[in-house]
Structure 1
Amino acid sequence: MQFAQFDVAAFLNAHWQKRPLLIRNPWKAWANPLEPDELAGLACEEGVESRLITSGGKQGGGKLALERGPFAEERFGTLGKEPWTLLVQAVDHYVPDVAALIEPFRFVPDWRIDDVMVSYANDGGGVGPHFDQYDVFLIQGLGRRRWRVGPVCDAQTPLIPHEDLRLIEDFEATGDWVLEPGDILYVPPGFAHDGVAVGDDCMTYSVGFRAPSRAELAEAWTAHQVDAMAEDDRYGDPDLSLQAHPGEITAEALDRLHGMVLASLADRDAFARWFGHYNSLSKYAETDWRPEEQMEAEEVAAMLGEGHGLHRNPAHRFAFIAAGEGVLFFVDGVCRECRGEAAQLARDLCAGNEWSGSPSEEALALLAALINQGSLGFEEED
C-alpha cells in the first residue's frame, strides 16, 4: 500500500499533534485488505484481543455494553439489527496485508508506531464519543462511516458513568464528515471524536501510535535502576558538623539526598540502552513466536543461497541506537551490540520488512539468532 499523493512535510508542519485532518483517498489503488469473516474468525481465537460493543436498543435505553473476546462463532449469529461494533486489536500481527497499511505512515519513527486495530460495524454501530491519548489515522476500508470531531479533552472532561467505556458526556462536534473506502481521518491526541457506521459492512482500520507518559517512563526507568543498586550504597555525612537545631533537616542534607537520587537516574547511556529494551518489547509478551525447530547459521546460509527471502515478524519491534562505530540493535526487548557488517545488517532490517542477500559469518549468526527467537522468518512457499 502506497500513497499516490500526500505532502508529508506539510502534514507534519500543520497537523501532526496539532489538529485533525480529513484526507480523501490518497492511495494509488485502494483495496480492502481483510474480509469481515476473517476479522470475526480472529475474534474467536485465544490470545487475540477483541471486544464487542452492542447497543441495548429501546429496551436497554440505548446504553452501550462491552463484551470481551474470544467469542464463540455462534455469538455473531445472535446479533440482531440493533447497532453493534466488533473491534480486534493488533490485526497487523496476524494478517500481512493489514501490516502493509503501516508502511505509508513510517514518516513517523517506528518506535512510535503501536498497531493496527480493525473494527467492523453494522448500520448505526460505533463506540460512542470518546478521546484517546495517542495519534491515530482512521482508514475507511469498507462501507461508509460518519465521523464527528470535537474539541480537545483532558482529565477534567465530564464522562458518562460507565463501568467499561470512557464516553464523553456533552459531545459537541466542530467537524463532520462521511468517509468512503480509502478515505483517512487523522485525529491528534486528546481530540474528541465519534464514528458511526452509515449502512452495513463498515470496516475501519486504525493505525495507532504510542506516546509513553512521563509517569510511565519515570516508574519503569526508576524500577530498572533500583534493581541494579547495591544495598550498601547509602547516605553518608563524614563531614557532619554541629547544627543549631537537632530537629531540622538542613539544606545541605537535602542537597546530598537529592543528589543521590538524581545521580542514580542521570546516566544517559544507561537510559538509552534501557529505553531501547523497554520500547522494543512485544505488545503481547505471552505469545511465543519461536519456530518449532531451531536453525543453524549454515541452514540460514543455504536458504538464502537458494533465493529465499526473510521477512520481519510484525509482532516484534525492531529499532537501533547509534553507539560509536556500531549500533545497539533492539528486537523484542533483546539488545545486541553490532559492528561492521552486523551493524549495517541491523540498519537494513530496521529499514524494511523484507531482506535477502549474502551475509558474512557474523551477520549470519545474527540472522540465525533472530530467526530462532521468532523475530525473522523465511517467506512461506505458495
Structure 2
Amino acid sequence: MDIDAPLPLLGGLSPSQFMQRHWQRKPLLVRGAIPGVRPPLPRAELFALAGQDGVESRLVIQGSKGWQMRRGPFARRALPPLTQPGWTLLVQGLDLHAEAAHALLQQFRFVPEARLDDLMVSHATDGGGVGPHFDSYDVFLLQVQGRRRWRYGRQKDLTLREGVPLKILERFEPQHDEVLEPGDMLYLPPRYAHDGIAEGECQTCSIGFRSPSRGELARDLLQRISDAAGEDDDPRVLYGDAGQQAVRAPGEIPPSLQQFAQEALERALADRDGLPRALGESLTEPKANVWFEPGRAPRRGEGVVLDRRTRMLYDARHVFINGESWRAGGADARLMRKLADARRLTADELARASDAARELLAAWCDAGWAHGAAA
C-alpha cells in the first residue's frame, strides 16, 4: 500500500495524512468511502453463521421490557421476525469466517497489524441499536446496507446506566447527527460517545482495533517470560541459607530470600530476547474460538498465502505466527517479513527460500496456517 497516495476510503486523505490528523485525535466522516459496497454475507448466511458453535454472536433487543441481551449461538427460530422493530444481531470476528469480510479488513492495513483486531457486523431492524456508548479503542463504522443515524461527540461524563445488560451511558450529549448510506463510513477515536439507530433494516460493519490495558499486557507477558525462564533455568539452582542464624521473629521473611527472589526475577528479565519474544507471541495468539483445518504444502509452480485466521508479525530478530516464534535472519527473514506484510508469496519468491524455510512453510501449511496458492 502506498501510504502517501490519496484514498477514497479516507475521503481523499492519504493514510499518512489520516494517521497524522485523525488517528486517536478526532472523528472523520467519509461519504462514499467504498462506492457500491455490499454486505460481506447475505442476511440468510449471516443468520446461519450466528447459529454455529465457535462463532461469537449477541442479540440485543429494546422493547417494552427495556434492554435485553442474549449470547449465541442462535437457531434461526430464536431470532425475532424481521418485521419486529428494535432488535440487533451482532456477529464478532466475521473476518475469521467469511473471505469477503477478511478482504474488507485488509483495506485498513495502513494501521499496524499488531493493532488490527477484527470486523464485527451489526444487522438491525428498524430502530435497532445497542444504545449510546463509548469504546476504548478506535473504530471505523462502515455502512454496507440500508441507513443508520449516528449521533456522536466527545463526552466527559462517562457514567454508565445501572441495571442494564449493556454499557449504556447514563447521560448522552451528542454534538453531531449524521445519517450514513451504503458506502459511507465514520471513524471515531477511543472514548468518543456514539449511538447508532437503524432507519429501516440495515447492516453496519465495525472495524475495531486492539487496545490492551497495561495491566492485562503485563500479566500476559510476565506469564510467558516466567514460563520460558522455567524451561531454560537450571533446576539445581535452589535457595540456600547455610549462614542463617536462629531467629526470634520467625514470621519475618529473611532478607536473603528476598534477595534470591530479586535475582531470580532480574535473571528472567535479563534475556534480551525474552520480552520481544513474549510480546510477539502474545500479539499473534489466536483467539479461543479459532481453529485451523490441516492443509497441504504448495505444489510446484504455486505460491503460498496465509490463512485468513492466521496472525503473523515480526521484529528485528524474530518472526511470529499464531502464538509461536522463530529466530530469523538474512534472506529467509526478509522473505518471512514479506509474507507477514503481503500475506502471500508468489511461486518465484517461494523458490528463493532456503530448504529450511520451505520446510517451515510446509509445516505451517500442514497445520492449516497457510495454503498453497496459484501464482
| TM-score, length basis structure 1 | 0.82
Opposite residue 16 of structure 1, the aligned amino acid is W
Preserved contact between residue 29 and residue 186 of structure 2 (Cα < 8 Å): yes
Which residue of 2 is the match for residue 132 of structure 1? Answer: 135
Is 2:344 aligned against 1:354? yes
> 3-state SS of the aligned residue for 1:159?
coil
Deviation at 1:249, TM superposition (A): 10
Which residue of 1 is the match for residue 148 of structure 2? Answer: 145
Whole-Å Cα distance in 1 between the matches of residues 219 and 137 of structure 2?
20
Percent identity between matched residues is: 40
Whole-Å Cα distance in 2 between the matches of residues 330 and 317 of structure 1?
8
Which residue of 2 is the match for residue 243 of structure 1? Answer: none
Which residue of 2 is the match for residue 333 of structure 1? Answer: 323
Opposite residue 356 of structure 2, the aligned amino acid is E
Opposite residue 124 of structure 1, the aligned amino acid is G
Counterparts of 1:294-305 in structure 2, within 5 Å, are 295=296, 300=298, 303-305=299-301
Preserved contact between residue 341 and residue 363 of structure 1 (Cα < 8 Å): no
Whole-Å Cα distance in 2 between the matches of residues 172 and 232 of structure 1?
63
- Between 1:45-54 and 1:71-80, the stretch displaced more is 71-80
Counterparts of 1:232-243 in structure 2, within 5 Å, are none
Deviation at 1:344, TM superposition (A): 2.6
Correspondence for 2:371 among 371, 374, 377? 377
Is 2:39 aligned against 1:38? no
Whole-Å Cα distance in 2 between the matches of residues 369 and 287 of structure 1?
18
Q: 1:74-128 deviations in whole A, cap 9, x for unaligned?
A: 1235465231000001101111111111222111111110000011001110000
Correspondence for 2:312 among 314, 318, 335? 318
Deviation at 1:6, TM superposition (A): 3.1
Whole-Å Cα distance in 2 between the matches of residues 6 and 320 of structure 1?
28
Gaps of 5+ in 1: 241-246
Whole-Å Cα distance in 2 between the matches of residues 148 and 117 of structure 1?
20
Is 2:160 aligned against 1:159? yes
Question: How many residues of Structure 1 are paired with residues of Structure 2 in the alignment?
Answer: 356
Which residue of 2 is the match for residue 208 of structure 1? Answer: 208
Preserved contact between residue 225 and residue 274 of structure 2 (Cα < 8 Å): no
Opposite residue 323 of structure 2, the aligned amino acid is G
Q: Name the CA shift for 1:198/1:233 in 2 (closer, same or farther; >3 Å).
A: farther
Q: Name the CA shift for 1:256/1:89 in 2 (closer, same or farther; >3 Å).
A: same
Deviation at 1:44, TM superposition (A): 0.9
- Between 1:357-366 and 1:7-16, the stretch displaced more is 357-366
- Between 1:22-31 and 1:267-276, the stretch displaced more is 22-31
Preserved contact between residue 93 and residue 313 of structure 1 (Cα < 8 Å): no
Which residue of 2 is the match for residue 17 of structure 1? Answer: 24
Opposite residue 27 of structure 1, the aligned amino acid is I
Preserved contact between residue 235 and residue 257 of structure 1 (Cα < 8 Å): no
> 3-state SS of the aligned residue for 2:200?
coil
Gaps of 5+ in 2: 245-250
Preserved contact between residue 82 and residue 125 of structure 2 (Cα < 8 Å): no
Whole-Å Cα distance in 2 between the matches of residues 91 and 16 of structure 1?
24
Which residue of 2 is the match for residue 289 of structure 1? Answer: 292
Q: Name the CA shift for 1:266/1:198 in 2 (closer, same or farther; >3 Å).
A: farther
